């Protein structure tokens, strides 16, 4: 098998993922398919199979294609959703892979796409790649030509706009219960309780400043995340991070750390631990009582 065949096979193995990335960014199946095809043309011209992370490389390429399309659309004043409401491509459900069924059913409702249309292109790319596909800000930064801190700012601004109206009180109350249970279990050193609060596939990421303070850049899986945070939440309190329920660690009247959390099925599914002062300054941090913004 020659190099081009190897490249083509690798691309096909990641096609469903690339389509999902493109669809969530562009909000249109035809445009998503075009973006994936354009990404293949760029990949085939590059002709480079000596890449450590082929999936990450391909995601970067299709993301740049989508960013170009979003900028062109914005410059022309086009509204993709006004032109063609996004629809699944005409294939029977049993013909889709499990991954594709999850991708189509899980995260791209019409309401979300309408909200995403209001974002600036770079905001949309940063938000989609980070909040929907768990890329780090260091990975996203080169795609949008920003520093990691500026990329976090893009995603943070987008997240506030996407969240828009406050979450329903019942949902926020439930998330607060989960966070307070996590903090209590951590303080008590209760490993079993911590594992029960975390999604089995949780990913916890910490920025470079947090790593220098003793954190780990990335921890995956409920057991590993629970083991790391066991006994570590002595000063932590529940708070609002960019309008969503999260964790704040205050120290001497300032914020030492903020945990930006995402939830799934009643458990914590993802954590971004922020310690960098510039990044903390970007976040909208409040007490759960809705008091004044907290100083980083």
Which pLDDT tens digit goes with each residue over 171-194? 888 999 999 999 999 999 999 999
Contact predicate 256/250, CB 8 Å: yes
Of 120, 138, 163, which marks where a domain is finished?
A: 163
pTM: 0.66
Mean pLDDT of the 207-227 span? 94
60 and 201 inside one domain: no
Whether 102 and 212 share a structural domain: no
Structure tokens at 64: 């740049």
Per-residue pLDDT tens over the stretch 101-134: 444 444 445 556 767 887 899 999 999 999 888 8
Average pLDDT, the chain: 82
Are 202 and 265 spatial neighbours (Cβ–Cβ below 8 Å)?
Answer: no
Contact 59, 21 (CB under 8 A): yes
Domain count, the chain: 2
The pLDDT score that the predictor gives to residue 107 is: 42
Across the range 204-231, mean pLDDT stands at 94
Residue 98 located in a structural domain: yes
Q: Is 154 found in the same domain as 27?
A: yes
180 lies in the same domain as 131? no
Q: Token pair 């959703």 is at which residue? A: 81
Structure tokens belonging to residue 212:
């220098």
Per-residue pLDDT for 218 more than 80?
yes
Q: Are residues 111 and 227 in the same domain?
A: no
Residue 104 lies in domain: 3-163
CA distance 41 to 55: 16
Q: Which of 104, 132, 163 is the last residue of a domain?
A: 163
Residue at 295 is within a domain: no
Instruction: Tell me which residue of 72, 73, 75 sits closest to 83, measured CA to CA.
Output: 73
Where a domain ends, among 144, 163, 182? 163
Same structural domain, 11 and 58? yes
- What would the pLDDT profile of 246-270 be if each residue is shown by its tens digit? 999 998 888 999 999 989 889 999 9
Cβ atoms of 258 and 247 within 8 Å: the answer is yes
Q: Is residue 291 pLDDT above 50, yes or no? A: no
CATH code: domain of residue 276: 3.10.450.50
57-90: per-residue pLDDT in tens? 999 999 999 999 999 888 877 655 444 444 444 3
Tokens (6 digits) for 283: 């976040």
Flag whether 296 is in a domain: no
Query: Can you give the CATH number for the domain in which 35 is found?
Result: 1.20.140.160
Locate all alpha helices (DSSP H) within 90-207, ordered by sequence.
98-106, 110-117, 121-127, 137-144, 148-163, 169-188, 191-197
Question: According to the model, what pLDDT value does residue 110 have?
Answer: 57
26 within some domain? yes
> Does some domain include residue 156?
yes
**In this structure, are 175 and 135 located in the same domain?**
no
Question: Is the Cα torsion angle 146, 148, 153, 156 positive or negative in sign?
Answer: positive
Same domain, 100 and 128: yes
> Are 90 and 217 members of one domain?
no
Contact 239, 246 (CB under 8 A): yes
The answer to whether position 53 is within a domain reads yes
Regarding whether 74 and 36 lie in a shared domain, the answer is yes
Q: What phi and psi, each to the nearest 5 degrees, are found at residue 277?
A: -55, -40
Instruction: Give residue for tokens 């708070």.
Output: 239
Tell me how crowded residue 144 is: count the other CB atoms within 10 A of its CB: 22
């Amino acid at each position: 098998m020659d190099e081009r065949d190897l490249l083509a096979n690798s691309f096909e193995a990641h096609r469903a993922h690339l389509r999902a990335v493109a669809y969530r960014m562009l909000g249109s199946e035809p445009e998503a398919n075009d973006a994936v095809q354009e990404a293949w043309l760029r990949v085939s011209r590059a002709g480079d199979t000596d890449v450590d992370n082929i999936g990450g490389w391909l995601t970067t390429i299709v993301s740049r294609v989508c960013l170009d399309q979003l900028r062109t659309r914005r410059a022309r004043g086009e509204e993709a959703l006004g032109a063609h409401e996004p629809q699944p491509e005409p294939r029977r459900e049993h013909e889709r892979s499990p991954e594709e069924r999850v991708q189509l059913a899980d995260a791209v409702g019409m309401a979300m796409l309408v909200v995403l249309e209001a974002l600036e292109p770079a905001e949309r790319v940063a938000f989609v790649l980070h909040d929907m596909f768990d890329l780090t800000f260091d990975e996203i930064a080169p795609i949008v030509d920003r520093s990691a801190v500026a990329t976090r700012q893009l995603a943070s601004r987008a997240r506030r706009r996407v969240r828009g109206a406050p979450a329903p009180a019942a949902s926020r109350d439930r998330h607060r219960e989960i966070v307070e249970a996590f903090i209590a279990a951590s303080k008590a050193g209760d490993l079993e309780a911590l594992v029960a609060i975390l999604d089995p596939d949780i990913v916890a990421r910490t920025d470079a400043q947090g790593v220098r303070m003793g954190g780990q850049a990335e921890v995956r899986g409920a057991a590993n995340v629970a083991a790391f945070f066991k006994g570590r939440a002595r000063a932590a309190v529940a708070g609002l991070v960019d309008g969503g329920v999260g964790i704040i660690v205050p120290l001497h009247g300032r914020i030492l750390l903020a945990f930006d959390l995402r939830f799934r099925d009643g458990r914590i599914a993802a954590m971004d631990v922020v310690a960098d002062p510039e990044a903390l300054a970007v976040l909208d941090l409040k007490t759960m009582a809705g008091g004044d913004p907290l100083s980083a």
